[in-house]
Amino acid sequence: MAVDGLNFLVFAAAMVATPGPANMVLLAAGARFGLRPALPFVAGVALGKQLIIWPIGLGLMTVIAQVPWLFTALKYASATYILYLAWRIAGSRITPGAVQEAPPRFAAGLIVHPLNPKAWAMISTGFTGFVAEGTNPLIATAVIAACLLAVQLVLHPLWCWGGARLATLVAGQRAERVLMIGLAVLTVASVLLVLVKGA
């Protein structure tokens, strides 16, 4: 088979299910705003990965291979953005009645994966590890895109729901601050892990 879709689906599920910058942001969004208000953001995060998949599948990695500094610059710019999100998470509150900004919108979700180093690494591995040489790029990209979207539509809302459930346990308590700082630390750790592995 030109694309090992079944094994890639297992790989994708394992990658999307495990903690990473995007999942930490989804968990925090759920904790701060609840699942329902955060759903447009969740949808944006899921669809935002398509903004990486299609360019990579249709030849972006060939361009990046010819200009290696471009990938390095992209990696560190992405990490900087995720670290900014971690800082925002650490300072946020979920106490009922507290003044908070509106839930993040669909457009904010769209840029999470394009600026997520783990997403770039995962998708690159998908094309290099599960697509046979000589496969039609359009077919390969469509299969990778469909598999990842299917997995994300199941798992991303679960991460957000998990944050909402955590919030009901700690809102208004001392543990609230610990939760938000903990989410920020996990977000930073997930970025550093990706950077170290990619070094």
For the segment 94-111, what is each residue's pLDDT rounded down to a tens digit?
A: 554 444 568 889 999 999
For residue 108, what are the CA distances in angstroms to 4, 25, 92, 151, 195? Answer: 32, 11, 17, 20, 23
Do 74 and 144 touch, CB atoms closer than 8 A?
no
Domain that holds residue 118: 5-198
Distance CA 7, CA 187 (A): 28
Predicted confidence (pLDDT) per residue in 31-52, tens digit: 888 899 999 999 999 999 999 9
Q: Is 96 exposed, middle or buried (0-12, 13-18, 19+ CB in 10 A)?
A: exposed
- Which of 55-64, 75-84, 131-140 has the least mean pLDDT? 75-84
Closest CA to 38 of 110, 109, 103: 103
Total of domains in the chain: 1
